Amino acid sequence: MDLKELSLMVEKGNFKKVKELVLQGIEEKLDPAAILNEGMISAMAEVGTKFKNGEIFVPEMLIAARAMSAGLQVLEPILAETGIKPIGKAVIGTVRADLHDIGKNLVKMMLKGAGIEVYDLGIDVPSEEFLKKAKEINADIVVISALLTTTMPHIKEVVNLFNQSGNRENYYIMIGGAPVTSEFAEEVGADLYTPDAATAAEKAREYLISDLKIKSI
């Protein structure tokens, strides 16, 4: 199986071919880490770059992310068996009273495409659930989404709960959504605002890789 072909099929969003190639790679006993990193994660990084450069748009990005997810469904059991772990864990959700999930779902898939294990709380998430789940799974990153100006204050609620938890430094809080800005992120005490799913995945991966290096010293 050609990893370059797999990468191309992920970029094109051909989920059937992606599953087929991943299965073929497993049968040929290719390194599961290579299938993941060279065949799929590299493809999603390219997709993210093209999106930020205006070469592709949300529909193409979404199709590619779904193709990546299809390949991951096949590969994840093999990765678990071989002891290959994700680079980190993230909790994601849309805040209380906000029922929008398209952007949140795209960020989730891009995070997975960056090699991150993601726990999706869904929409209309009570503020306490973010902290509860983050503690439960020992998350590294918490991603909070709001699409309405009326629900943005709930982002601050969530951040405040983490601040009051006594171990705020254990969590990297990222926020996003149409009305959200970097100024708002600074105001509420979040670590980072990102304007799109590609940037969110890129920054999350950068943070986790940097954090892993620090912990290994």
Is-contact 114 206, C-beta < 8 A? Answer: no
Within this chain, do residues 10 and 62 fall inside the same structural domain, yes or no? yes
Strand 192-193 versus strand 141-145 pairing type: unpaired
Q: How far apart are CA 57 and CA 47, in angstroms?
A: 10
Chain segment 103-124, per-residue pLDDT in tens: 899 899 899 989 999 999 999 9
Residue 193, helix vs strand vs coil: strand
Question: Which pTM value belongs to this model?
Answer: 0.84
Residues of the chain with pLDDT under 50: 213-214, 216-217
DSSP 13: T
Find the domain containing 105 and state its range.
88-216
* CATH number of the domain residue 7 falls in: 1.10.1240.10
Which residue, 62, 81, 100, sits at the end of a domain?
A: 81
In total, how many domains does the chain have? 2
Structure tokens at 114: 């960056």
Q: Which residues contact 200 (CB under 8 A, 6 or more apart)?
A: 107, 110, 111, 143, 174, 176, 194
